[in-house]
Structure 1
Amino acid sequence: MAGITSTVGFNAVFAGITKTLSSHSLIYRRFQALWQKDSEVDDALDISAIRSATVRLIDGQQNMLGLVSKDEAVRMAEDAELDLVILSPDADPPVVKMMDYSKYRYEQQKRKKDQQKKTTRMDLKELKMGYNIDQHDYSVRLRAAQKFLQEGDKVKVIVSMKGRENEFRNIAIELLRRFQTEIGELATEESKNFRDRNLFIIMVPNKEMIRKPQEPISRKKKKQAESEVSAAEITAEPLQIESGV
């Protein structure tokens, strides 16, 4: 009987420990994740790796405080509630800086993502029109071209000449030149072909122009433009598909 009581008591204690550990498992996982994350960047925070007794210290406001002892630098960072980060471990003496390292890492990662967005593959958007296109449809394509260019894509404007329409080649060429003129500084010419039956001009976005803030488009105007573009049957093909042109 005593053996049964002991076993029951042990099981109760074990269950209590298990429950306690389970309730703290989330905290443990978070701590573990933070530890793993910090372990990836601990080289910059490992002040013990500095062999020199003195360091060149920069404070949180970018002020150079000059030479101080390593221990003094650690104390000053703790007092300011900042991390002490090694900037130049091989300098003599090493250069360290007081900063919020988590914030610094976040901003670095954000800049990296922004850079990756800027280097995204450029697409080639096609806009087709006839040599005798009316003003409304012409305006639809012009607005679409401006939109594509502002989004960082190339634009290929095509005028197809079928059969006897080839007699009006000069009108088609003037139409393409007018289109390019009205696009203006938003794009630069990459290539053109006015010899074949499919006349075209390819324009590349002018990076300096598209960096400038554009006037915000109202929701109503944006929806209207999208409807017009859809109705005009504007096609968009990836650049790699058009590479053989």
Structure 2
Amino acid sequence: MANSFPYAGGGRPGSYQRRNVDPFAAIRRNHRIKVPQVRVISPEGKQLGVLDTPKAINLALENGLDLVEVAPNATPPVCRIMDFGKYVYEEQKKHTHSKSTASKIKEIEFSARIAENDFFTKLRHAEQFLSHGNKVKLRLKFRGREMAHTEIGFNVMKRAVIELAGMGHPDADPKLIGRNIHVMLSPLPVNKRKPKFHVPGEDDIEEDDEAPENVSSPAEA
């Protein structure tokens, strides 16, 4: 009977190739370790010396753990006895948290005729978000007849970008979309950040871990 499954090799046009998306699949452990001897590290980090691989595997399994290859290019390869499932869980947890933090966007809203003190308060909030590694979206909303003088709004946004240059850089020039001007700021590397308005630890805004932050004053609501 002919095989009804698509051919999985050779990269032939129209062929189906299963892609392994598990980043931990390449890590050899237990009976997948084929070299005759390995250098073994205990769960506590203690050097156990060079052992025959079958003996090292049995030592790990007897303790309900796994023998995991951590330095495959060493001679002999270095393996550690550990709970591999727990290790994978912790690594995935760290990756998820890192990804969530990196993708967080905070929003600061301005108005075309914003008062000077409100303007600097918003810059302080923007600097705080940038100091935490968040991207910051600056948005200026025109009201009523203010659309007849959009240059006023652009001047406010350009000034804000200049004032925040010590903490973040614009991904693109400010753009008018509908009745709003938008510009996205990305944080500078930590060692290059120079806050002008925000003192770390002083009057920090409590951040919502899930929703974007929209900072606006009562007068602009």
Q: TM-score, with normalisation over the residues of structure 1?
A: 0.49
On the 8 A contact 1:190/1:203 being kept in 2, the answer is yes
Cα-to-partner distance string for 1:171-210 (whole Å, 9 max, x where unaligned): 5544333211221232211233578995735032225249
Residues 176 and 109 (structure 1), Cα distance of their counterparts in 2 relative to 1, 3 Å cut: closer
Matches within 5 A, 1:140-219: 140-149=121-130, 150=132, 152-158=134-140, 160=142, 163=145, 166=148, 169=151, 172-193=153-174, 200-206=181-187, 208-209=189-190, 215-218=200-203
SS of equivalent to 1:158? strand
**Residue in 2 that maps onto 1:108:** 91
Cα distance in structure 1, aligned partners of 2:100 and 2:192? 14
CA contact (8 A) 1:86 1:95 kept: no
* 1:111–1:62 Cα change, 3 Å: farther
Count of residues paired in the alignment: 179
Match of 1:87 in 2: 69
How far residue 59 of structure 1 moved from its aligned partner, in angstroms, is 1.8
Give the corresponding residue for 2:38.
56
Q: What amino acid is aligned across from residue 57 of structure 1 in structure 2?
A: R
The structure-2 alpha-carbon separation of the partners of 1:151 and 1:184, relative to structure 1 and needing over 3 Å to count, comes to same
CA distance in 2: counterparts of 1:211 and 1:84, whole angstroms: 43
Instruction: Identify the match of residue 69 of structure 1 among 34, 39, 52.
Output: 52
**Hey, what does 2:110 align to over in structure 1?**
128
> Any unmatched runs of 5+ in structure 1?
1-40, 235-245
Which residues in structure 2 correspond to 1:31-42 (within 5 Å)? none
1:72 positional shift:
4.0
Q: Secondary structure at the match of 2:90?
A: helix
Distance verdict in 2 for CA 1:205–1:167, change over 3 Å? closer
Give the AA of the match of 1:114: H
Deviation at 1:142, TM superposition (A): 1.8
Q: Which protein has the bigger helix share? A: 1
What CA deviation, in whole Å up to 9, does each residue of 1:145-182 have, x standing for no partner? 3344446233123263865885693x554433321122
Counterparts in 2 of 1:215 and 1:141: CA distance versus 1, 3 Å: closer
Q: 1:161 to 1:210 in 2, by over 3 A?
A: farther
2:109–2:140 Cα contact (<8 Å) kept: yes
* 8 A Cα contact 1:153 1:205, kept in partner: yes
Give the structure 1 partner of residue 14 of structure 2: none
Name the counterpart of 2:20.
Answer: none
Alpha carbon RMSD of aligned pairs, Å? 4.8
Structure-1 separation of matches of 2:192 and 2:58? 45
**Secondary structure, in 3 states, of the residue corresponding to 2:159?**
helix
Which letter does structure 2 place at the counterpart of 1:144?
Answer: H
1:231 aligns with 2:218: yes
| C-alpha distance in structure 2 between counterparts of 1:95 and 1:83, whole Å | 19
Aligned match of 2:9: none
SS of the aligned residue for 1:191 comes to coil
For 1:58 and 1:87, how far apart are their aligned partners in 2? Answer: 9
- Contact 1:59 / 1:98 at 8 angstroms: preserved in 2? yes
Gaps of at least 5 residues in structure 2 are: 1-24, 194-198, 207-212
CA shift in 2, pair 1:172/1:117, >3 Å: closer
Q: For the residues of structure 2 that align with 1:112 and 1:194, how far apart are their CA atoms?
A: 33
